[in-house]
Amino acid sequence: MELQFQFPETTPKYIAIYEQLKEKIITKQLRANEKLPSKRKLAEQLNISIQTVQNAYEQLLSEGYIYSVERSGYFISEYNGDWCHIVVKDKPSIELIEENSIYNLKNGQVDAEAFPYKVWQKLYKTQLQKFPAHASPWQGERTLRKNIANYLHIARGIECEPEQIFVFSGTQQQLQALCIFFGNIPVAIEEPGFYRANIIFQQMKYNIEYVRTDHYGATIPTNRVKLYYVTPAHQFPLGAVMPIERKAQLLQWAQATNAYIIEDDYDAEFRYKGLPIPPLANMDQLQRVIYFGTFSKTLLPSIRMSYMVLPISLAVDFQNFYQHQKSTVSRIDQLVVAEFMESGYFVKHIEKMRTLYRKKWKTLIEALQVYLTDEYKIFGDTAGLHIVIQLPPWLSEKRAVQIALEKGIDIDPVSKYYQTTTPQNLVMIGFGAIPLEKIHPVIQTLADGWLQSR
């Protein structure tokens, strides 16, 4: 097989290879189970480095477009091709938690020391001088929603209008508003899953199906439900990355059953191997997907700001349903975030934090490999701000968390994210908040404490 590629000057070569191969797979120019050229052969053909080809192949592999067979090479994945990427013909216009422990290794925490406070203070002062006395429109400041739409278009490949975006003070609040809008409906959530979302479903007294996850993330509900809450890019909490075939199955299921998928893209900006994984909303272009985004990981949890992007088919009715609501998000904060994005600070900050978190992630993995034995298994470690550790048989989750607290280290049990089963051998280690230079000594202390309890 001899493949032809074009290399635009502004596009890295491995991205060009990845994108063009993906297009050939989607359009069936390459058949299922067809073997790709070896990395060395393709590198020689294109007169590029083997590493460049490897980066392209690894990205395709992580998204499920290809698969590898040991000592045989890479092959085109087999999948149902009834779905396709929807082409948009008319482009639209465009809480910090106080911890009593010494070291905070809980999930979802950020490095607050790296936040650009001086820039934020300057922008805040500018907005205050404009005397923004009146409240925001209930759906959020239009300038903020416009900037979010632009960001989603560039960073996540999602085409949407500002009128499809609604700003809230957190994921739970927007989920609750969505549930009230839909009324009494059957729902589903992946198991294990985000327990705060599950709490909202329980408070609504919904009939909830807890859908098992596997190596590829969320599976298909067995019952007929209206809303299905999932985290495809980085399954929470176990960390699976959903491949293209599973995404296609979910979208086909939603279309066939007239259901909507709530895609919580909670930490997609922070991926450490390859490119960020495209969201379901990118494939579906907001037909059956309701997209949840947040600023808690990219900025600060204490800002308390999130957003929801609805399909056009729902946006007008949702707007009318809540037309008499008042915004629960500070207008000044919204205007500051909008200016932060429009001035380019937001993208720069994400790039800076991605570099910092990649260093922390790498250091954490190294420390775990040094201080823990082979009895411990590490997974969910390709993205986000936490990893999951499977404990050896002699150490229970409860005891592991207790020993950590005794050492002044706060970690999360994974069992609380389950509803129908209760595994007792998994813990989460977050690395967002801990200083880089403290990772090795803290992990050594934790590992020593666990070993001494044997």
Contact criterion met (CB below 8 Å) for 257 and 222: no
How do beta strands 187-191 and 208-214 pair? Answer: parallel
Task: Examine the pLDDT at 48 and tell me if it is beyond 50.
Answer: yes
Quick one: which of 143, 147, 152, 145 has its CA closest to 167? 145
Work out the pLDDT band at 54, boundaries 50, 70, 90.
very high
Q: Give 93's DSSP letter.
A: P
Task: Examine the pLDDT at 101 and tell me if it is beyond 80.
Answer: no
Looking at 83-92, 243-252, 288-297, which range is the least confident one? 83-92
Report how far residue 430's alpha carbon sits from residue 385's, in angstroms, rounded to the nearest whole number: 6
- What angle, 0 to 180 degrees and rounded to 10, lies between the N-to-C axes of helices 331-342 and 142-151? 40
Contact criterion met (CB below 8 Å) for 312 and 172: no
Work out the pLDDT band at 84, boundaries 50, 70, 90.
low
Could you give phi then psi for residue 83, rounded to 5 degrees?
Answer: -85, 165
pLDDT in the model for residue 71: 86
pTM: 0.82
Task: Examine the pLDDT at 222 and tell me if it is beyond 50.
Answer: yes
Report how far residue 9's alpha carbon sits from residue 24's, in angstroms, rounded to the nearest whole number: 21
Q: Give 393's DSSP letter.
A: T
Where do the DSSP E strands lie in 142-265? 165-168, 187-191, 208-214, 217-218, 227-230, 260-264
Q: Give 87's DSSP letter.
A: P
Helices (H) and strands (E) in the chain, counts: 14, 16
pLDDT in the model for residue 100: 55
> Which domains does the chain possess?
13-76 (1.10.10.10), 131-344 (3.40.640.10), 348-452 (3.90.1150.10)
Task: Examine the pLDDT at 94 and tell me if it is beyond 50.
Answer: no
Quick one: which of 274, 273, 254, 272 has its CA closest to 263? 254
pLDDT in the model for residue 381: 77
According to DSSP, the residues that pair with 412 across neighbouring strands are: 428
Quick one: which of 347, 351, 356, 316 has its CA closest to 152? 347
User: Each residue of 356-409: pLDDT tens digit?
Assistant: 999 999 999 999 999 999 999 998 877 889 999 999 999 999 999 999 999 999
pLDDT in the model for residue 96: 44
Quick one: which of 231, 319, 238 has its CA closest to 281? 231
Residue 217 falls in which region: left (phi positive, over 0), alpha (psi -120 to 50) or beta: left
Quick one: which of 17, 451, 188 has its CA closest to 7? 17
Report how far residue 324's alpha carbon sits from residue 103's, in angstroms, rounded to the nearest whole number: 45
Task: Examine the pLDDT at 330 and tell me if it is beyond 60.
Answer: yes
Quick one: which of 284, 265, 295, 257 has its CA closest to 167? 295
Amino acid at position 383, single letter: A
Amino acid at position 317, single letter: D
Rounded percentage of the chain residues whose pLDDT exceeds 70? 94
Task: Examine the pLDDT at 209 and tell me if it is beyond 80.
Answer: yes
Tracing tokens 């007239």 back to the chain, one arrives at 258
Work out the pLDDT band at 97, boundaries 50, 70, 90.
very low
pLDDT in the model for residue 35: 92
